[in-house]
Each structure stands twice: as structure tokens, then as C-alpha cells.
């Protein structure tokens, strides 16, 4: 039996109805089996046992990335060599790869592949291990990280900068905004969602 991944809009429907309707009812709405809905909730709920469509989709993408880049984890000798010899300020990716080829007489992996592993943020080297490409005078950016991402809105925080106590969902008034992109075909719409984190109240609007 072939299994097809749940779409972002299907995950959003699960989020809205989970805890209100039974898994069988949700499965009927989506024309999916109960086991599919149950597996989705078990695999993609957060550490507090809550199901969030956006979080579930990110977990799925990470697993896909891990599956596609299996060599990045299975080649322990190559990984250990990079950890030992890579130094972002003096001995970058290209130099480390060349040293590996000279020392082991093996080709290893392409520079493009290695950068893809680094960008996945789940290899032995991560994005913050890379030397920043662009600098401004005195090594400081003109605007800080939050201002650049939120266009100066003091009430909006990127997920990475969100205060940890918000994750406990104990206070009302913390909202998440998300955009579910529909198919790029006539008759399909994008969905803008606003979710209050404590009550799980969700407002959905076609855009």
C-alpha cells in the first residue's frame, strides 16, 4: 500500500479538530485512515504532547533531509576528519576537503554536497560554524537580527528569539501567524492562520 505525505492544509485541519473530534472523524474529513492520523499525531507532536501543524511540517522536512543525506551520517571517518581539521577562520570547507583527499587518497564528497549538509543544520558542522560571507565596517551590522527579520516591529519575535516561557502555553495572548501556500493552480488559495498558543483558538482567512 502506497503512503502519501499529509499536505500542510491537512495538518492544519488536524490541528484545529484534534481534541474536539475523534481520530476517526478527522480521518473521515481528510479521507485518510485512522492509523494515518494517529501516526501523524504521535510522530509530529511537540515535547508537550500538543499537535501544531507548522511544527509537524518542520519535523517532517527534517526527517526528509536526514533520509536524503544519509551519507552525511554514515561516513564516520569523513565526519571525524572534518570535525578535527575544519577551522572556519583559517581552514574552510574547500581546504579541509583538499586535505582529506591528500591524506586519504579518497575523493570524498563534492563541495556542493558538503555545503548542503551544513545548511541542513543536522550534520557535524552547522550554519553557525561557517564564516560569515559579508561584513560591514568594524565587523558590526547596521541593524540587529530581530529588527532585520521583523521590519522593526517590537511586538513580533522570530521563533528562534521567542522567550522560553511562551512554550509553556500558560499565558493568554501569545499568537502565532503562519501562511499555508496552496497549489499554484487556478481555484486554489493560500491560507493565513492566526493561532492563540494557550487556547489553540485559530482564525483562518483565505488570501
pLDDT tens, position by position, 23-49:
999 999 999 999 999 999 998 888 888
User: What is the layout of strands, in order, in the sheet containing 175-180?
Assistant: 175-180, 191-196, 202-206
Residue 166 lies in a domain: yes
- pLDDT given at position 107: 85
Total domains in the fold of the chain: 2
On whether both 35 and 88 belong to a single domain, the answer is: no
Predicted TM-score of the model (pTM) = 0.36
pLDDT grade for 135, boundaries at 50, 70 and 90: very low
On whether both 99 and 121 belong to a single domain, the answer is: yes
- pLDDT given at position 1: 47
Q: Is the pLDDT of residue 86 over 70?
A: yes
Helical H segments across the chain, by residue range: 8-17, 23-30, 34-44, 53-68, 71-74, 76-85, 93-104, 111-120, 145-150
On whether both 76 and 117 belong to a single domain, the answer is: yes
C-beta of residue 201 within 8 angstroms of C-beta of residue 182: no
On whether both 117 and 84 belong to a single domain, the answer is: yes
On whether both 24 and 125 belong to a single domain, the answer is: no
Residue 1 lies in a domain: no
Q: CA-CA distances (angstroms) from residue 13 to 8, 23, 88, 128, 205?
A: 9, 12, 44, 35, 14
Domain edge (last residue) among 129, 162, 177: 129
Domain edge (last residue) among 129, 157, 179: 129
Domain edge (last residue) among 129, 163, 179: 129
On whether both 119 and 82 belong to a single domain, the answer is: yes
Q: Is the pLDDT of residue 153 over 80?
A: no
Higher pLDDT, 193 or 156: 193
C-beta of residue 174 within 8 angstroms of C-beta of residue 198: yes
Residue 137 lies in a domain: no
Domain hosting residue 84, numbered range: 69-129
On whether both 125 and 76 belong to a single domain, the answer is: yes
Q: Is the pLDDT of residue 55 over 50?
A: yes
Distance CA 178, CA 202 (A): 11
On whether both 85 and 38 belong to a single domain, the answer is: no
Residue 135 lies in a domain: no
- pLDDT given at position 46: 84
On whether both 73 and 59 belong to a single domain, the answer is: no
- pLDDT given at position 92: 83
On whether both 26 and 125 belong to a single domain, the answer is: no
Residue 134 lies in a domain: no
On whether both 149 and 199 belong to a single domain, the answer is: yes
- Please state the rounded mean pLDDT for residues 148-157: 60
Q: Is the pLDDT of residue 136 over 50?
A: no
On whether both 88 and 63 belong to a single domain, the answer is: no
Residue 26 lies in a domain: yes
Residue 18 lies in a domain: yes
Amino acid at each position: 500500500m502506497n503512503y502519501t505525505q499529509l499536505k500542510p492544509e491537512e495538518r492544519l485541519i488536524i490541528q484545529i479538530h484534534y481534541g474536539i473530534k475523534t481520530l476517526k472523524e478527522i480521518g473521515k474529513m481528510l479521507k485518510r485512515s485512522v492509523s494515518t492520523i494517529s501516526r501523524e499525531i504521535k510522530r509530529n507532536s511537540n515535547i508537550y504532547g500538543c499537535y501544531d501543524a507548522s511544527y509537524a511540517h518542520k519535523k517532517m522536512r527534517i526527517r526528509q533531509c536526514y533520509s536524503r543525506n544519509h551519507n552525511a551520517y554514515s561516513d564516520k571517518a569523513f565526519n571525524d576528519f572534518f570535525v578535527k581539521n575544519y577551522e572556519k577562520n583559517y581552514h574552510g570547507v574547500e581546504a579541509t576537503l583538499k586535505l582529506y583527499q591528500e591524506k586519504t587518497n579518497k575523493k570524498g564528497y563534492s563541495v556542493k554536497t558538503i555545503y548542503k549538509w551544513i545548511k541542513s543544520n543536522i550534520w557535524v558542522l552547522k550554519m553557525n560554524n561557517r564564516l560569515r560571507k559579508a561584513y560591514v565596517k568594524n565587523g558590526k551590522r547596521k541593524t540587529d537580527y530581530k529588527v532585520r527579520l521583523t521590519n522593526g516591529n517590537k511586538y513580533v519575535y522570530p521563533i528562534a528569539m521567542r522567550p522560553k516561557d511562551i512554550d509553556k502555553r500558560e499565558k493568554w495572548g501569545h499568537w502565532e501567524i503562519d501562511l499555508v501556500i496552496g497549489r499554484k493552480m487556478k481555484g486554489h488559495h493560500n491560507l493565513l492562520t492566526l493561532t492563540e498558543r494557550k487556547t489553540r483558538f485559530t482564525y483562518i482567512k483565505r488570501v
